[in-house]
Structure 1
């Protein structure tokens, strides 16, 4: 892979970011200013430029006009967030607000470099084209272990005609999985018929699914094909199959066992060739034990089971999903690109999301409608943030260095210790010793970009005693 260039005038931050990227197998170059970057590098040989917004001499945004197609990721503080939005309009591929953690940076770097590599190797391929891997393309997003395992299973079962049962909470994207299964199957050119079993009245469900003959019931003035016939040769997706009435379950069992259907009011059966995918948020095995779901149908459905994790179990995926939903919502509403503030990203990462992706999508759309100046602030999301942002931050990659967010805009320690080799742990220790007489614990934690609890724990580990407040006589 082509190297990454870091343009950052603060040696400590530059060195820490370099170590982070090199630990993750990236080749890295450094520069302290735009001028230095141009003197020592051919920008077209790079896969990515990570530049601070505020640099001595030319601003970091000048890297965009010099890059000539190489993607530029802008680093900025929250105070300069408006400038970051402006840099996006100038052509920056993305921005990342300080303070940020390692996982956030690595996710952004991976996304941008892979996209640049694809465009370089195949210039005619646009982002999100049909040649992109369907299970990891525009619809299903995820890099957490449960999602990677799900992608692997989809790729294995999709080319077969095996019946699939998709399990997961409401709003987790079960229909997206069904679409991916159909798209990667041999039936991709045939129809995919999606049916929400909970949305059809119980009195009409059999007629809708299996069709009916003329005069089969009051109002049946003409014969009609059902949705199972409509899916002949393709895929039938039955969402919320746990809501299917027992009578309809018996008919569906016949489709699975014999490959044939009989319309309501008919004595004739005829063959259909349908691949069935079912989904539910309910426990079908428990329903089968209580007689609410046919046990024989459950075992017919449960040939291959795919489990979708809840959004709260997907770690940093929630941020990537939120960014994608934000882009899609702006396009749908005809608005200019909007951006999340650092506080809103922390809130998104820390919230429980009981409604999963559907709830996140609604929150993003509401925020875009209400937002001014293109910034999505925490309050516009209208979600209850259950813990301080610093405690429920984006997932970290572990290790002492990782606990201090990279790029925290805090006062520099004395010149004697501000050396490139200074570790973030040393930086923390010197900063606390230098400023604890003038700042409260809350102020120290805020400047360091961590919680008071994290500050206390790190004091204990590093043996930095907390200064006792002197009593002031009045």
Structure 2
């Protein structure tokens, strides 16, 4: 049973949080101060949730006393800078009051799961421990992050296929992490100690693709001054990952089919073949079945590749995974750039959850890197992400945010309001005075801006939309 200790002096909040956690199968103890908490054995708990401001001693005093037990700090938005300081002192995370129930439960689940994974998997060698679920090993070793249902299905599929030598076709939109899935299959297979070679078929000129994959003999073509082995030969006894396999020209497809059928290759210009033992994993964002109908992809090769299919879910279908991935990217990027204590503004998290992310995980990673470069203080706001929002996407985001309850409509830092005070102050007053009587389109027209500009100003100034 997972045990949690709540340290909160406001009885109503303490009791409400305790009931919430107990309804979700957690065992909960509660106290009203740091001194009361220290009278307990903190090692008995998987998580401590503490208010920042407590009578006597602040909640941050628990961080050092808790040892390996993670401490989640609760704070009001007025004390957001204090939450940043708490993170610097070692708090595992912070959550703002009044907290959203789903947000609290997601944070608790994530923190406890990460702690369990760390304690059960102290190092890379433990990744093959048969007593630990393979899903976690796939997640940790390959940095594939996610706990939503589509990702659970993905991890299970990776487990099953990794133990075989079956050819795998990974399908998914650009930026969904197809190469990470391929690497997970390799690292969990019997070939994990051998070479995995990754090839982007779209990045190699058509005139060179056969030579690159299969190698060539001296004098096979102009410029072939010496014999050279190809990438398939280099991957012998290991794994070959062909990304964007749909871009292969038809002649190269015929040669690849022979590799799959006969387990042998023949270099360009050679009359002899060589046996190879290669596990082939391919990936594409294109519809190969349609390409077969159009005569652009060999049907016999398609069915050879389609032994086992894995579909990568787009980021927009992964729910709360978006914020979990964003937090990891923020930590890694800020560490790399030497910026500590960076946090997402609450409205930024809301926007990231509702934005469709057409570039998927790659777009999210690039947006966060941009924000880390541009941020002036410790708060990552929506405008720093630099995401391009089209009008139809904006309408969808606005509709979702408008359906959020008033308790969830949380303001941003007042820092943004203080910038360019006269213009922003006018904008703020006009919107608050007229939004009950005007639609978003009418407000934008009166202000002489586009709906997109109006939405961005709302994000910057922390003006929630009326339901």
Q: What TM bracket, shorter-length normalisation?
A: 0.7 to 0.9
Note if 1:24 corresponds to 2:12: no
Superposition CA RMSD, Å: 2.9
Q: Which digits, 9 at most, give the CA deviation of each residue in 1:195-238, with x for residues without a partner?
A: 00001111111100000111111111111100000110000000
Q: Is the 8 A contact 2:77 2:96 kept in 1?
A: yes
Which sits farther off after the overlay, 240-249 or 52-61?
Answer: 52-61
Q: Is the 8 A contact 1:211 1:225 kept in 2?
A: yes
Note the 1:301-316 alignment, pairs <5 A.
Answer: 301-316=305-320
The offset of 1:115, in angstroms, is 3.4
Structure 1 residue runs without a partner (length 5+) = 397-402, 410-438, 454-474
The offset of 1:22, in angstroms, is 1.2
Provide the rounded CA distance (Å) in 2 between the counterparts of 1:78 and 1:269: 69
Distance change (3 Å), C-alpha of 1:108 and 1:288: same
Provide the rounded CA distance (Å) in 2 between the counterparts of 1:234 and 1:103: 44
Compare relative contact order (CA 8 Å, sep 6+) and give the higher one, 1 or 2.
Answer: 1
SS of 1:85 mapped into structure 2: helix
Q: Which residue of 1 aligns with 2:112?
A: 113
Note the 1:29-428 alignment, pairs <5 A.
Answer: 29-39=29-39, 41-119=40-118, 125=122, 130=127, 133-137=136-140, 139-383=143-387, 384=389, 386=394, 392=400
The offset of 1:450, in angstroms, is 8.3
Provide the rounded CA distance (Å) in 2 between the counterparts of 1:234 and 1:295: 26
Q: Which residue of 1 aligns with 2:3?
A: 3
Provide the rounded CA distance (Å) in 1 between the counterparts of 2:207 and 2:314: 33
SS of 1:348 mapped into structure 2: helix
The offset of 1:407, in angstroms, is 12
Which sits farther off after the overlay, 162-171 or 132-141?
Answer: 132-141
Q: Which residue of 2 aligns with 1:452?
A: 466
The offset of 1:63, in angstroms, is 2.2
SS of 1:363 mapped into structure 2: helix
Provide the rounded CA distance (Å) in 2 between the counterparts of 1:227 and 1:332: 33
Structure with higher helix content: 2
SS of 1:232 mapped into structure 2: coil
The offset of 1:53, in angstroms, is 1.6
Provide the rounded CA distance (Å) in 1 between the counterparts of 2:280 and 2:359: 26
Provide the rounded CA distance (Å) in 2 between the counterparts of 1:211 and 1:239: 19
| Length-normalised TM-score, structure 2 | 0.81
Q: Is the 8 A contact 2:368 2:385 kept in 1?
A: yes
Distance change (3 Å), C-alpha of 1:63 and 1:154: same
Q: Which residue of 1 aligns with 2:429?
A: none
Q: Is the 8 A contact 1:388 1:451 kept in 2?
A: no
Distance change (3 Å), C-alpha of 1:323 and 1:282: same
Q: Is the 8 A contact 1:235 1:274 kept in 2?
A: yes
Provide the aligned length of Structure 1 versus Structure 2: 410
The offset of 1:356, in angstroms, is 0.2
Q: Is the 8 A contact 2:171 2:284 kept in 1?
A: yes
Q: Is the 8 A contact 1:147 1:309 kept in 2?
A: yes
SS of 1:137 mapped into structure 2: helix
The offset of 1:268, in angstroms, is 1.1
Provide the rounded CA distance (Å) in 1 between the counterparts of 2:70 and 2:125: 18
Provide the rounded CA distance (Å) in 1 between the counterparts of 2:108 and 2:123: 19
Q: Which digits, 9 at most, give the CA deviation of each residue in 1:339-387, with x for residues without a partner?
A: 2121211111111100000000000101111112332122111123836
SS of 1:112 mapped into structure 2: helix
Provide the rounded CA distance (Å) in 2 between the counterparts of 1:440 and 1:12: 36
Q: Which residue of 2 aligns with 1:416?
A: none
Q: Is the 8 A contact 1:288 1:295 kept in 2?
A: yes
Provide the rounded CA distance (Å) in 2 between the counterparts of 1:388 and 1:3: 40
Structure 2 residue runs without a partner (length 5+) = 412-432, 437-458
Q: Is the 8 A contact 1:214 1:221 kept in 2?
A: yes
Distance change (3 Å), C-alpha of 1:377 and 1:38: same
| Length-normalised TM-score, structure 1 | 0.80
Distance change (3 Å), C-alpha of 1:203 and 1:98: farther
SS of 1:5 mapped into structure 2: strand
Q: Is the 8 A contact 1:2 1:45 kept in 2?
A: no
Distance change (3 Å), C-alpha of 1:120 and 1:236: closer
Q: Which residue of 1 aligns with 2:13?
A: 13
